[in-house]
Amino acid sequence: MKRDGSNISLWQSAIPDFKEKQTAFSDRKFDVVVVGGGITGLSTALKILESGKSCLLAEAQEIGFGTSGGTTAHLNNFFDTPYYQVEKDFGAASAQLLAKGANDAISLIVENIRKYSIDCSFSKREGFLFALDEKQKDELEKIVESAKKVGVPMDFTNTSPFPVPYISIASVENQAQFNPAAYMQGLASVFENAGGVILQHCRVTEISGDEELEVKTSRGIVKASAAVYATHIPPGVNILHFRCAPYRSYALGLKLKGEYPEALGYDLHDPYRYYRTQEVDGQKYLIAGGEDHKTGHEENTNACFAHLESYVRKFFDVEEVAFKWSSQYFEPADGVAYIGHLPGNPENVFVATGFGGNGMIYGSLSALVLADLIRGKKTEYAKLFDPSRIKPVAGFSNFVKEAADVVGHFIGDKAKIEKIDSFSDLATGEARVVRHDGHVLALYKDEQQRLHAVNSACTHIKCTVAWNASEKSWDCPCHGSRFSYDGTMLTGPARKDLEVIKLA
């Protein structure tokens, strides 16, 4: 499995590339076209097929290429946005509904695994949230109280399987974990065997039409009655790009000298750190994550891995860092995902985005919500997750902050660009955005001394890209589009590669 960066996740190291059965689609109309081959797209496509509708899934790269192949795969019935905040912004009934949604998502995963005999190392785990100082202790008390109100069995305890010191700790039963790559490939195989069509390396470039949609792809045109953007963030320019902020999170796969904690763990730092154990090919690994930051805002992304490793080594007896990788997520302005009709598009075009750090749960829940909406069936989740919802208070300050951040980078980054007279000034392995001979270039010199020059303007809305040294990618600090060092688009919302500049 290839992925959207130079680092390979633990999951992708042990799973071979998925081989689809078909390499082209016949001239036919599908009931639904799903765009994106991650947890959301695969879960949704299978659910649609189970409802009796024909379905084609188009993936621009390969199954599990993006964040779904780089997740740490915690399955929780609590969210990054605590229930007390959801109750404050959306009401008590909505907080209870969100908790039900988490349980429904986990139930769907369990049912798929059981029904289709998917071997993906699924196991139930107890979760632990630990407060490391008085401020975190106060926060934990609010989290526990609000979780209980919505029926999540969270309570304080005096024991922890993690060697991280704490002043207060809570536990919650019936959490879970699995191997996401194995699960996704299982879903993909089941989908194809049931009559679904998967096309990898098939980029959807445009969806037009009304009652009958024309889906233009890099492999031809297909007709459909409905379409779903399961691409983490929808492509093009949409109001949701201003309601979802891109972040990156870092993960390590570590071999320990001693015992491995067989539980899920979370501290309450901002950003928080998280832990769990996974066995792959007979070897156990502690997976530790954290050091989150806005995409394109961190000058030294290698330092994020170093900081995380240094912190983990304080408490765990680490033998070796076997894997390191980072992944992207989109934080919703008001703390709750957007699942439903894509604003500004025909009523039969749908989207799922803004999952924060809860992609496995929201991605699975999206399948239930979208399958109902596509069938014209009422769903209790429609209002809560409505992408067109307007909350005058909830998320407004975040919306303003993120909009100001985008404007600041759009204008400010261009003013900081330095001039370079000679390309010899660039060291091996170095990348910089520079002015040269009337052009603004994003330059990278690889280990073989070859220069790669691309236009520094993101093809989404022309913000200046920033270098991500740890993944060897150009990342847009405005809306999170990412490109390889040679300009090849890795993830949207951009639709096109960066322009390659030929150097004299």
Is residue 429 very low, low, confident or very high in pLDDT (cuts 50, 70, 90)? confident
pLDDT tens-place string over residues 143-201: 999 999 999 999 999 999 999 999 999 999 999 999 999 999 999 999 999 999 999 99
Measured in Å, how far apart are the chain's first and last C-alpha atoms? 37
Residues with Cβ within 8 Å of residue 74, at least 6 apart in sequence: 127, 175, 177, 264, 274, 276, 360
pLDDT over threshold 80, residue 355: yes
pLDDT over threshold 70, residue 406: no
Q: Is 383 helix (H, G, I), strand (E, B) or coil?
A: helix
What proportion of the chain, given as a percentage, has pLDDT over 70? 92
pLDDT over threshold 50, residue 302: yes
pLDDT over threshold 80, residue 1: no
Q: Where are the beta strands (DSSP E) in 187-305?
A: 197-200, 204-209, 213-217, 220-229, 244-256, 264-267, 274-280, 283-294
Confidence (pLDDT) at 391? 66
pLDDT tens-place string over residues 431-477: 999 888 777 899 999 998 899 999 999 999 999 999 999 999 999 99
Q: What is the pTM of this model?
A: 0.94
Beta-strand relationship, 349-353 and 220-229: parallel
Mean pLDDT of the chain: 93
Token duo for residue 320: 């070796």
Is residue 410 very low, low, confident or very high in pLDDT (cuts 50, 70, 90)? very low
List Cα–Cα distances, 443 to 7, 286, 468, in angstroms.
20, 36, 12
Weakest-pLDDT range from 87-101, 269-283, 341-355, 396-410:
396-410
Angle between helices 359-374 and 39-50 (to 10 degrees): 30
Angle between helices 134-149 and 83-90 (to 10 degrees): 60
Confidence (pLDDT) at 360? 98
The H or E element that residue 96 is part of is: helix 92-116
Question: How far apart, in whole angstroms, are the C-alpha atoms of residue 382 and residue 385?
Answer: 6
Question: How far apart, in whole angstroms, are the C-alpha atoms of residue 65 and residue 83?
Answer: 31
pLDDT tens-place string over residues 238-261: 999 999 999 999 999 999 999 999
pLDDT over threshold 60, residue 394: no
Question: How far apart, in whole angstroms, are the C-alpha atoms of residue 127 and residue 219?
Answer: 45
- In the chain, the domains with their CATH numbers are 10-70+181-241+335-394 (3.50.50.60), 417-491 (2.102.10.10)
